[in-house]
Amino acid sequence: MNFFDVTIEGNTVIFADGNRIQLPEKIIAQLGGKNAGLILGIRGEDVKLDAQNLNVYGDSKQSAVVENTEVMGNENNLYFTFGGAAAVARVSKYEISRVGDTIGFVFIPSKIHFFDKDTEECLI
């Protein structure tokens, strides 16, 4: 799982490096007003690069430079830095990227988890 230190302002998630994504109010409400001391977690398979997800969640599209790749047969792991942390996207074997490529990606909102930074308790 990818982990990022974040804060929340309204329905905007702000990463340590200043990047921002928008989340539906329903997800933000589940945090019960907690907006600091949070860790956002998302699995590599829920970081999407495909055109359909980029279209659906395009208002929160991000980009990063691929630092390493790992061909795993049916899937590829793309390693990059985002949000002030090392991250990985697990993508289809057909989504081929090379070291140095800039990729556009989105996080699937319903697959995002939030943890309390101090207690490590899962909040969502």
Q: Tens-digit pLDDT profile for the chain (124 aa)?
A: 999 999 999 999 999 999 999 999 999 999 999 999 999 999 999 999 999 999 999 889 999 999 999 999 999 999 999 999 999 999 999 988 999 999 999 999 999 999 999 999 999 9
Q: Which CATH architecture has domain 2-116?
A: Beta Barrel (2.40)
Task: Find out whether 81 and 92 touch, Cβ atoms under 8 Å.
Answer: no
> Please, what is the average pLDDT of the chain?
95
pLDDT of residue 96: 84
The neighbour count for residue 107, using CB atoms within 10 Å, is 25
Task: List the chain domain ranges.
Answer: 2-116
